[in-house]
Amino acid sequence: MSSRTLKRSPARRPVQKRAPRVSMIDRGIAALPVSEATVHRIATWSITGAVMAGLGTLAVWMGVPSAVGTALAEGVGRAGFRVEQIEVTGLSRMDRMSVYAVALDQQSRAMPLVRLEDVRAKLLQYGWIEDAHVSRRLPDTLLVHVVERKPTAVWQDKGQLSLIGPDGVWLEPVRADAMPDLPLVIGPGANQQEAAYQQLLKAAPALKPLVKAATWVGNRRWNLTFESGETLALPAGDAAAAAALAKFAQLDGSKPLLGKGWLRFDMRDPSKLVARKPGDSAGRAITDPNEAGAAAQPAVIEAKKHVSAAGQG
């Protein structure tokens, strides 16, 4: 019996399967502290909500009959895209509840029906709000960012004190015992002249910290009251008033006039400085600061010729 040599076939090596490639998005999802199913659910709702909100808004904008567009938008709202939260940033002084009230004052809170420009326009009616930005964050939040005005002065009119902002915008009442360290302007219309008054003080920066208040007289000119009690009457007209104030600062700088017992200084005619002490029946003109302490008889002395003349007020 012949023997046969049995040849064994070489053993097959197991085929190693390559691990599937994992995309950066999948890795990011895996790293989130929520399940993958939850992530996909959120993404699906976000996409669906954006599409539905877009369709509802588009229907309103493109003139789809009002009832149809509104019904579609309300359907979007019932699907969960409805204003439920208001997030406000930028507030410091204004009442936060007033902003909430404006943002929620809607005929419908369905997201497509919230008119962002209308909300912004209503917010800008408040003195404190200089600018506002309103946007949606789906599914249920309105974002409101405001830029507040900064108070620039205190306005006193008919016994009432108020904070005002740039260009005289009324902000809020203020108590006399809580007045901030801001310029005080007095009289009807003085709030509208606040910017011009700030510019006037630049003509004599050394005098600015010495001014206690400014009274707007006859809707045409200023009377300045100093911390030392004196009043300085300035002429009408921005240029004339600035020139007169600069001249007064020059005279006071040569030899102090303030705090020397004078009651009133009059430069309504900026060609001369007329000063009066308590009990004087008439003022006396001062061109040389050394005259400030002299007990001269009431007289009118012409000022230096280089000071330009202006009309009296």
Name the residue ranges covered by the structural domains of the chain: 34-148, 153-293
pLDDT at residue 28 in the model: 53
pLDDT at residue 302 in the model: 37
pLDDT at residue 293 in the model: 46
Could you please state the CATH topology (level 3) that the domain comprising 34-148 is classified under.
Answer: Ubiquitin-like (UB roll) (3.10.20)
pLDDT at residue 26 in the model: 54
The helix/strand count (H/E) of the chain reads as 7, 13
Q: Which pLDDT band holds residue 301 (cuts at 50, 70, 90)?
A: very low
Encode pLDDT of 105-154 as tens digits: 887 778 878 889 999 999 999 999 999 999 999 888 999 999 999 999 99
Q: What is the DSSP letter of 309?
A: P
pLDDT at residue 20 in the model: 57
Task: State the average pLDDT for the chain.
Answer: 78
Encode pLDDT of 192-217 as tens digits: 999 999 999 999 999 999 999 999 99
pLDDT over 50 (residue 19): yes
Residues in the chain: 313
Q: What is the mean pLDDT of residues 155-184?
A: 95
> Hey, how many other C-beta atoms are within 10 angstroms of the C-beta on 292?
20
**Integer Cα distance of 16 and 164 in angstroms:** 79
pLDDT over 80 (residue 294): no
**Integer Cα distance of 116 and 103 in angstroms:** 9
Q: 32 is written with which tokens?
A: 């989130």
Helix H or strand E segment including 161? strand 160-164
Q: 117 is written with which tokens?
A: 């420009």
Contact 207, 252 (CB under 8 A): yes
pLDDT at residue 160 in the model: 96
Encode pLDDT of 264-287 as tens digits: 999 999 888 999 998 776 667 765
Indicate the pTM of the whole model: 0.67
CATH node for 153-293 = 3.40.50.11690
Contact 153, 181 (CB under 8 A): no
**Integer Cα distance of 115 and 121 in angstroms:** 10
pLDDT at residue 308 in the model: 35
Q: What is the DSSP letter of 109?
A: -
Q: Which pLDDT band holds residue 39 (cuts at 50, 70, 90)?
A: very low
